[in-house]
Structure 1
Amino acid sequence: MTLSVRPPAVAGMFYPARAPEIVAEADRLLEAAERRLADMPDRPHPKALIVPHAGWMWSGDLAALGWQTLAPRAGGIGRVVLLGPTHRVAIRGAALPGVDLFATPAGALRIPADEVLEATTPLARPVGVDPLTHAEEHALEVQVPFIQRVLGDVDLVPLNVGLARPDEVADIIDALWDGSGTVVAVSSDLSHYHTSERAREVDRATIRQIVDLDGPIPADRACGASPLNGLLTCCARRGLRPRLLGAHNSGDVAGDHDRVVGYAALTVEETRS
């Protein structure tokens, strides 16, 4: 049987175009992330992640920092539920791409679509299928090589999330978050096109809201606000709390501080007494 594939859309733009270069760059970023984690007095033990999705040259260090926190659990995680925003084709609710495999030039991950659709069918807003919204979307694709390098050949549930209430998204996450073998990740950048100074101020306030579960986060503070607010609702339900790993903006990388984009990586962990 021939399997259908969502092919790579942004390889060569947001991350390298060829498999050897993808692997080499992902490994370089993950090794640097591991050094940062080793210097932390209290290494994170995440249940979920919040990671940025710009080109790797801009935010790949922070995305790698998030994914590398899962390295100690490699082998014990069999499925990643990955939620991101719709940059090109807007939708209502959450949608799968309607294929069997999600590919990058470095390989492909299986999509357990039937399981996802069955698990969410009873919900007021179940997961749908919309190939068009996935066709050119980058927010999920840029995460896939990190997933492959850290966790290996796991199942991927790639969900583009459009217009939806936080509780609707939370219900979807809860329906798919079936124990320690599943990890949830939200792909989101922070503020857009402020000066660096203003972006740091705005992003600090947004990160504080996220850490304090003080949602909802407005869409102008995080482009992945819809899935992010769903995850924060899940955190409140489950007694989990986000924890900041690191943050910066594009001006810190490129030196152009007039119109920047903000990025942050956070883990979601059990609330400590």
Structure 2
Amino acid sequence: MDTGKTREASHAGSWYTESEEELNAELDDYLSKAEKTLPEGRLKGIIGPHAGFSYSGPTAAWAYKNIDPTNYKRVILLGPSHHVYLDGCALTLCSTYETPIGNIAIDTDTVKALRDTGEFEDFSLKQDETEHSLEMHLPYIKKIFGDHPFSLVPIVVGSINYKSEQKYGKLLSEYVEDDETLFIISSDFCHWGRNFDYMPYEKDVDESISGYIKHLDTQGMDIIEEQDGKKFVNYLKETENTICGRHPITVFLEAIKHSSLKTVTKFVKYAQSGEIHSKYDSSVSYASSYTVVDI
């Protein structure tokens, strides 16, 4: 199997700038305006959005601000598949991921160990470069880690049921317990509007549609903070909230549950791409959180 491929930064120049100087400056600006909110304890994971940086970059900074790269040698990045149907999870065939500010080495040993379980599919180079949910985190990861040595384990999570989410969570729980491994979960929150075929609105909750969207997302974020995967799945069934990273989030919650660690999850930033004034408008929500080992 050829695993020596390089994944190009295929969304650079469209979803974010392809200029090294401009990208560094943009990320510096976002990070300078974010606050470090991490309490005492070791950071185990973050959730952050994956839209174009002009939309979601400021929110993502609130999660990345909490990372001390010297604590980690491995990053496991979980993101949803937007273009390829997967009834499971998939692993990259690449050994390097490019970003405009420097390349990231793939942890090919861990990828092989996961592949050898027989529970993962392969993501072709074309599929890999088409998917944006992982790529939109790569510049931030490289920015934070800089020259500190680390390697990346990218995992694309398909449209799996709760039983499979439990299975993959249990499989990844040993990495949750590893002090030198950091989890990064890629997800946007509510996608509201005709373009997304999702337009619920309960006027008795809030007078504005944007307020209702926040109310809906907050319900989900509160459950994630409880770290209850089954309750989160039930919430999604009841509300049909269009959280695109629902499956990566639940896999992470299940990995925490199957580990021996006691952790605390807290959301630190929430935003929407725009104010909703009529049924013809659309909006995507962004949220950032941290999960820390409770001491």
| TMscore range, shorter length | 0.7 to 0.9
The number of aligned residues is: 261
In structure 2, relative to structure 1, the CA distance for the partners of 1:177 and 1:139 (3 Å cut) is same
In 2, Cα distance between equivalents of 1:81 and 1:97: 12
Secondary structure of 1:215's match? helix
Q: Which amino acid aligns with 1:100?
A: S
**Alignment map for 1:58-77 (pairs within 5 Å):** 58-70=55-67, 73-77=68-72
Q: Partner of 2:183 in structure 1?
A: 184
**Alignment map for 1:14-29 (pairs within 5 Å):** 14-29=15-30
In 1, Cα distance between equivalents of 2:99 and 2:38: 35
Secondary structure of 1:80's match? strand
Match of 2:151 among 155, 167, 171: 155
Q: Which amino acid aligns with 2:155?
A: L
Q: Partner of 1:206 in structure 2?
A: 220
Secondary structure of 2:113's match? helix
Q: Which amino acid aligns with 1:159?
A: I
Secondary structure of 1:104's match? coil
Q: Which amino acid aligns with 1:127?
A: F
Q: Which amino acid aligns with 2:191?
A: H
Secondary structure of 2:98's match? strand
Match of 2:48 among 33, 45, 51: 51
Q: Partner of 2:6 in structure 1?
A: 5
In 2, Cα distance between equivalents of 1:31 and 1:43: 21
1:102: Cα distance to partner? 0.9
C-alpha root-mean-square deviation of aligned residues, in Å? 2.4
Render the CA deviation track for 1:153-199: whole Å, top value 9, x for unaligned: 42111111103322122134224445121101110011111542221
For the pair 1:94 / 2:117, whether they are aligned, the reply is no
In 1, Cα distance between equivalents of 2:43 and 2:75: 13
Q: TM-score scaled by structure 2?
A: 0.80
Is this contact kept in 2: 1:6–1:97, CA < 8 A?
no
Q: Percent identity?
A: 26
1:111: Cα distance to partner? 0.8
In 2, Cα distance between equivalents of 1:204 and 1:267: 16
Q: Partner of 2:123 in structure 1?
A: 130
Secondary structure of 2:220's match? helix
In 1, Cα distance between equivalents of 2:105 and 2:179: 19
Q: Which 5+ residue runs of structure 1 have no aligned equivalent? A: none
Q: Partner of 1:81 in structure 2?
A: 76
In 2, Cα distance between equivalents of 1:41 and 1:83: 21
In 1, Cα distance between equivalents of 2:129 and 2:243: 22
Q: TM-score scaled by structure 1?
A: 0.86
Render the CA deviation track for 1:212-261: whole Å, top value 9, x for unaligned: 22322527341011111011112233332311111111115xx8773111
1:76: Cα distance to partner? 2.4
Is this contact kept in 2: 1:116–1:127, CA < 8 A?
no
For the pair 1:143 / 2:121, whether they are aligned, the reply is no
Q: Partner of 2:204 in structure 1?
A: none
In 2, Cα distance between equivalents of 1:159 and 1:46: 20
Is this contact kept in 2: 1:117–1:126, CA < 8 A?
no
Q: Partner of 2:205 in structure 1?
A: none
Q: Which amino acid aligns with 2:170?
A: D
